[in-house]
Structure 1
């Protein structure tokens, strides 16, 4: 069927992104678990969101790890600020940053802070300023697996590294058996699944393995998957879907993708008195120890991936909203500040715990709010 002329003329990157984002908002997939909290969040948000000056459309793209948080935030915000559209295209951190530096979107979501070369590239889009990192979403990176025979699985950093670099190939490998003495581990091959595109979640997994298992994970922590073997899948949703469908599979994704699809997750032996489960509370204990390493208005964080603190889940990520500190589009700036002001608000952050994320620590979040208020 031939498309109407109006649609055929939508050739610009900006228009294409708007259409894609709109489709994402209206077609919630099975990996979205925000339905149980949306009503409460919406009622609270409608009372407290500051909509003054906001108007039109706000386009954003990037990290799929924060998709479920963004879906809930967008739903609440648009319910409170009638007539305003916020379109967040969930793809990958790399694609989000690329769209941001090209000036296609007002902000990008990324699971990793901007690199120096990305900051330099952002200056073209930011006119009088540059891109900065605002930590907005915290949470555990879950290691999900598909073994119907095993209801409770413990791994440590070394065994996780060896699984994902294809050194451990069977589920009954002695290294896994030692960590799970009471489990009936099957004599089945392991099918590891990783992100096929550039991914901040991949980079955070690499940071964790490089710090906690340096003898077994020799790769640089980059967004592109570095190790041999395994199978690639598109986005966190794609990795979760593969693990859900393939018996013997194991993969990594943000926790809400596991909870929404009832995928069991690994407990991590950190060297503390007991293995630590992937949940919001345990991730918060690890994120609370983060320090700001960014300078000026940049609020990039340094996380302790090798922590052995009791109850602290070490495999965590923080997703950043990347914005221009100055030189933002004056037409969209009020809406940008209004929307991000909501996501960083008490209401916005409290909504995270109910969907498998961890709020940003209060001291750091206070600086995020201050920075958002000062965007130009």
Structure 2
């Protein structure tokens, strides 16, 4: 997939072993900020060193539901440490979040796909003094193909088969295409009930990017944040899809790993061309993420991801959620708090605090660039 950015920096040379090792580190760390206070990160066992803003102000954000569980952890820890800053985040989906940012309604937005050139142009009305919105990769994860099939505990799928299921071309669970991928598994003859996002979603964008790369033409629509498949039922947000899969027998949908874990949903393994199907784990997603390439320019850090990877143990359906902010022209009354909160999110302690929630800590080569870009916000 090629993101909407000109210019390409060299590929991030990050070893998969180092990435996977980072997942097993104690969820604790420090950054280069002066420690203002120490507080436990909600949902984790770590203590996060947080440097509060000298001029504290409340922050409003909106957008991606994929990062919702991560933001909950971060704002709880940050709010305890910095009582003068109240952070609110509304998970309305990536598309709506970017729209709210470009309308000047929020200080930052979360999106699971890099800004389009039209979004950047629109942001110039909000980012004063010649500024514009930039992409800061802050949350990494994976898209799980979640299922609730009677009598089936483990399921293997591939690009063409999954695309045909979600497009209504495969309609029963014992279809030969599914059975071939799952020898020895007793599949019911029940109809397949698919669920997709009703809102414009970066999760949808990443899934359909995978389809566009791997379905062999079975998925005819381009990668898009708006669902274009035939049939199926819709649900709002990752929470809505998770709830439907949990309740409806013989159903299948797609959510981020954190939602799959929180709702105790089963996730399919993916046949990629590697020696064996790849399980949807943070460690396996880290391998794909480590091979990503920065394609943004300047302080914009949009990434290119390889959805068609066949590397051993590399889970292909990965996502990166970007925080959107003005490179210049942020509101003066919230700038200090925005930079302080972003610095905590990008710090080692902030990244490790969300690892237990199903997210992948950002590789140091990426987080170092993010921290530098945050320091340049004005």
Are the counterparts in 2 of residues 136 and 343 from structure 1 also a CA contact under 8 Å?
yes
What residue in structure 2 maps to residue 205 of structure 1?
207
Q: Residue 191 of structure 1 is aligned with which of 174, 193, 202?
A: 193
CA drift at 1:77: 0.7
What residue in structure 2 maps to residue 88 of structure 1?
89
Q: Which ranges of structure 1 fall in alignment gaps of 5 or more residues?
A: 1-35
Structure (1/2) with the larger helix percentage = 1
Are the counterparts in 2 of residues 54 and 84 from structure 1 also a CA contact under 8 Å?
no
**Residues 144 and 54 (structure 1), Cα distance of their counterparts in 2 relative to 1, 3 Å cut:** farther
- TM-score using structure 1 length: 0.88
Can you list the C-alpha shifts for 1:116-170, whole angstroms capped at 9, x where unaligned? 0000000001112000000001111000000130011000011100001000000
Looking at structure 2, the residues matched to 352 and 216 of structure 1 have their Cα atoms a distance apart, in angstroms, of 36
CA drift at 1:52: 3.3
Looking at structure 2, the residues matched to 258 and 168 of structure 1 have their Cα atoms a distance apart, in angstroms, of 23
What residue in structure 2 maps to residue 349 of structure 1?
351
Are the counterparts in 1 of residues 41 and 77 from structure 2 also a CA contact under 8 Å?
no
**Residues 135 and 289 (structure 1), Cα distance of their counterparts in 2 relative to 1, 3 Å cut:** same
Are the counterparts in 2 of residues 142 and 255 from structure 1 also a CA contact under 8 Å?
yes
Please state whether the residue corresponding to 1:38 is helix, strand or coil: coil
Are the counterparts in 2 of residues 142 and 258 from structure 1 also a CA contact under 8 Å?
yes
Looking at structure 2, the residues matched to 54 and 40 of structure 1 have their Cα atoms a distance apart, in angstroms, of 28
What residue in structure 1 maps to residue 69 of structure 2?
68
Say which is worse superposed, 346-355 or 61-70, in terms of deviation.
346-355
Say which is worse superposed, 213-222 or 135-144, in terms of deviation.
213-222
Can you list the C-alpha shifts for 1:147-200, whole angstroms capped at 9, x where unaligned? 130011000011100001000000000000000011000000001100001111
Q: Residue 372 of structure 1 is aligned with which of 371, 374, 377?
A: 374
CA drift at 1:352: 2.3
What residue in structure 1 maps to residue 235 of structure 2?
233
CA drift at 1:214: 3.4
CA drift at 1:39: 5.6
1:97 matched to 2:98: yes
What residue in structure 1 maps to residue 311 of structure 2?
309
What residue in structure 1 maps to residue 20 of structure 2?
none
Q: Residue 179 of structure 1 is aligned with which of 175, 178, 181?
A: 181
Can you list the C-alpha shifts for 1:46-96, whole angstroms capped at 9, x where unaligned? xx1110314121000000011000000111111111231000111100110
What residue in structure 2 maps to residue 359 of structure 1?
361
What residue in structure 2 maps to residue 118 of structure 1?
119
Looking at structure 1, the residues matched to 44 and 285 of structure 2 have their Cα atoms a distance apart, in angstroms, of 24
Looking at structure 1, the residues matched to 263 and 255 of structure 2 have their Cα atoms a distance apart, in angstroms, of 12
How many pairs align? 338
Can you list the C-alpha shifts for 1:258-297, whole angstroms capped at 9, x where unaligned? 1111110000011111111111111111101000001111
1:264 matched to 2:245: no
Q: Residue 44 of structure 1 is aligned with which of 41, 44, 47?
A: 47
Q: Which ranges of structure 2 fall in alignment gaps of 5 or more residues?
A: 1-39
Are the counterparts in 2 of residues 37 and 355 from structure 1 also a CA contact under 8 Å?
no
CA drift at 1:215: 1.6
CA drift at 1:40: 4.0
Please state whether the residue corresponding to 1:322 is helix, strand or coil: strand
Looking at structure 2, the residues matched to 37 and 155 of structure 1 have their Cα atoms a distance apart, in angstroms, of 36
Looking at structure 1, the residues matched to 55 and 191 of structure 2 have their Cα atoms a distance apart, in angstroms, of 54
